Each structure stands twice: as C-alpha cells, then as structure tokens.
Amino acid sequence: MNSRKRILKEMISAIEKNETVQENVDLRKATAELYKVWKIDATAKILRNCFKRGGFSNQTDDSDSDDEDAILTNLKEKWKTVEGNGRITDDATLSDILEVGAELLNASYPTDEEILKSLMDNNKGQENDSYSENENVIQPKPHRTEMLQSFETIKRGFQMEENVPDSIFSSLIKCENFYENLTSQNAKQCKIKEFFK
C-alpha cells in the first residue's frame, strides 16, 4: 500500500542523488515503516476489515460512519472475548496483539526473480513435453515433389537476402542434385498410358 510507495520513493530519490540504493530493508527501517503504517496508513475501515476477515466481527461495510471511539470499544469487547477463551496469555495486551497484526503480511507479490524462474520452469516443462510427444510420433517420409519444392523455397529465400556466400548456394545445389539422383534411381519408368487407367 502506501508503505511500498514510500520505500520506492526513497529508492528513486537515492538513485536521483547518485547515492547507493539499499535494496534490502534492515530491521530499523522496517520498524520505522511499520510505525508509519500503523499511525498513518491504518484507517478504521482497514482495521474493521482485518478483524472481520479474522472472524472476530460480523459487521457489514455500512458501519463506515462509526466514530473511532465506538470502534475501539468494540475492539476491546472482542479482546475480552478472545482473552476469555484462553487463547491469549495473561501478560499480552491489546496493543501487543495489534503490533503483531501490523507485522503480518497483507498481500504478497512475486519478485522479478520469482516470476522469471517460474516462466523458465514452465518453458522447460513445455519443451520436455513437446520433445517427448514428438519423440513417439513417427513422421511420414515426405514426397519427392515436396522435397524438391523445399529446396526451391530455400534457394529463393537465400536469393532475396543480401551478402549470402556462393558456397551456400553451391551446397544447396549439391544437396538437391544428390536427392534427385537418389530418388531417380528408385523411380521406375512408366508409360503415359499408365496415368490414364
């Protein structure tokens, strides 16, 4: 919430002043930030919602017009209920519990490193899956005309590019000639009548 904005503003300010940016938050800074959150950012509505989510209250959001004294009285009543159930030790106070609640993480957002790691793990899994799927599939042998058309397409593609060495073209022509010779040996000669049966 606002604490994140404050931390980012401090980091941006340090960058603009060419100072070293402290990426990790130390205990002193975290304590000061928690104090600011509790004293400045924590509104009555936020506290009500926290207690409601925790199961301590069944109020609706229509109680926004309540003054803070009524809310504090309600919190103290809830505290007595919780304290009476034996879930709280004798030496703990309401402010102790509220301070612990302030330290709890409200929402968690993944860091850039976690996002990248997740994406890379997903990509690795997909590559392995597609490899294993393709491994079991037997590809049919391409037809002779399909192969010859492929050679033509590759030649045409290289001709459209600039600065392609002649050795590429000669190698491609050698491959094409080799394939034509290989397939022509296996082809049998047919009469034209055989095509019209």
In angstroms, the CA 26 to CA 45 distance is: 29
Query: Mind listing the pLDDT tens digit for each residue in 172-181?
Result: 888 888 888 7
The string of pLDDT tens digits covering residues 185-195 is 666 666 677 66
> Are both 25 and 80 inside the same structural domain?
yes
Q: Over the stretch 149-170, which tens digit does the pLDDT of each residue have?
A: 888 898 888 888 888 888 888 8
Q: Which domain holds residue 177?
A: 144-187
Measure the CA–CA gap between 43 and 37, rounded to whole angstroms. 10
Q: How many domains does the chain have?
A: 2
Decide: 121 and 160 in contact? Cβ < 8 Å.
no
Considering the domain boundaries, does residue 24 fall inside one?
yes
The answer to whether residues 2 and 92 belong to one domain is yes
Q: Give the C-alpha separation, 89 to 110, whole Å.
A: 35
In a domain, 15, yes or no: yes
pTM, whole model, 2 decimals?
A: 0.28
Q: What mean pLDDT is reported for the chain?
A: 72
Amino acid (one-letter) located at 132: S
Once rounded to an integer, what is the mean pLDDT over residues 37-53? 77
Banded model confidence at residue 34, pLDDT cuts 50, 70, 90: confident
Distances from the Cα of 155 to the Cα of 15, 120, 137, 152, angstroms = 53, 36, 29, 5
Give the DSSP H or E segment for 36. Answer: helix 27-36
